[in-house]
Amino acid sequence: MKKILLSIAVLLSAMTMNAETLKINGTFGSWGSATYDETTGVVTCPTSNWDGWQFDVPSEQSDGSNYDYLVFELEDVTFEFHIVLKGWNNSLSYQTPNVTAGTTLYAIALDSDELKDKCNEIDQIQMQSHGTGTMTIKSISYMTEDDYQTAKNADDNKEKSIVKYENYTAELAEGTEMGWNSPGWMGDSNLDNLYKTVVVEVASSDGPFQVCVQGWDSEKSEGQAIECHVAKVEAGSPVIIAVPVAEIYKSTIGQIAFQNMNFDHYEYAEDKSTIKYFAKNSISVTKIYFTSNEVASTYTEAPSYPEPDAIESVCAENINTSAAYNLNGQKVNSSFKGIVVKNGKKFLNK
């Protein structure tokens, strides 16, 4: 079956169907700070301020009514984005849902209610980022159902994986607070479209720590971070903390953060209650990534904190080794006759 391939750059497509290759002759444009390399097909978005880019579709390629899908073959997508299809004189304006970071094949169904009567007038393809990073556009194609299913089957057999952070050190200060150290905002949604597991690989740590994976409710007016998964990790090297995507709120991550559990001792508050005091902790993180594979955790769960004693500590410099007391707790001198208490022990003075 005939397929018209809209070439964005030098096409490196791995799809095996016969195709008539037609290069887009329109001008590449962008807004914000996005840039496009015509030789490699790499788009770069250095800021997260909704940068965008567009491709003008030649008139001879604007009619997709004889096809079932408009398909994007992508590589190394490190941020979320959405796609907008525009028609002549604004006769068409269709926006896709967010495309998940790491997507390698994305299809727009041309027989949907929004497009079936207007897919013969696709004049412009716009793409807008939701974060910083890069992506490679390998090809944009009109495809029939059969061709798309062949491409999709091949794509489904590939492991999907994207590294979000590498070689990161979470420094947590000593004190009475667990602290909060995060490599940065992630804001990744629809993870269940591609991935099964969120993985944190830790090379070493000074002591026990806690990993918090926060969901993100983007439907709220200002968004709301929701703590959805906490792992309490005993010190070890190396360890893997694996969180099933199914356990993450709405399959959406706001951020991943580290907290201190390196317990040192208890201190008394002004109201005589006890406060945990944590020693300094340094956590060396090899990488944080998403994968379509199922991954098992390898860490040992950190034990609960010890219960505070009635007297947590006594400063040695405050102990008077020469003082003696009678059984009523009164201080006495060496002339006192009877039982005395000295350094916590009883003696009989005659």
The pLDDT of residue 317: 40
Q: For residue range 42-86, what is the model confidence (pLDDT) as tens digits? A: 889 887 667 888 888 888 888 888 889 999 999 999 888 999 999
Assess contact for 135 and 77: CB atoms under 8 A.
yes
Residue 17 has pLDDT above 90, yes or no: no
Are 206 and 233 contacting, i.e. CB atoms less than 8 angstroms apart?
no
Sign of the Cα pseudo-torsion (260, 266, 269, 275, in order): positive
User: pLDDT per residue over 143-189, tens digit each?
Assistant: 989 889 999 999 999 999 999 999 999 999 999 999 999 998 888 88
Q: What are the tokens at 179? A: 């602290």
Cα-Cα end-to-end distance for the chain:
115
Residue 6 has pLDDT above 50, yes or no: no
Q: Across the chain, what does the average pLDDT equal?
A: 81
Domain 161-291 indexed as CATH 2.60.120: yes
**Is pLDDT of 29 > 80?**
no
Q: Is the domain covering 4-156 a CATH 2.30.110.10 domain?
A: no
Q: What is the pTM of this model?
A: 0.72
Q: Could you tell me which of 117, 138, 101 has the C-alpha nearest to residue 8?
A: 138
Are 70 and 56 in contact, with CB atoms under 8 Å apart?
no
Range of lowest pLDDT (19-28, 91-100, 122-131, 304-313): 19-28
Assess contact for 282 and 207: CB atoms under 8 A.
no
Q: Which residue has the higher pLDDT, 327 or 162?
A: 162
CA–CA distance, 326 with 339 (Å, rounded to integer)? 6
Strands (E), 197-301: 197-205, 209-217, 224-233, 239-244, 253-260, 263-268, 274-278, 281-291
Beta bridge partners of 23: 7
> Of 76 and 344, which is predicted with more confidence?
76
Q: Which residue has the higher pLDDT, 21 or 145?
A: 145
- Does 4-156 match 161-291 in CATH topology? yes
* Cα Dmax for the chain: 117
pLDDT in tens, 244-255: 999 888 888 888
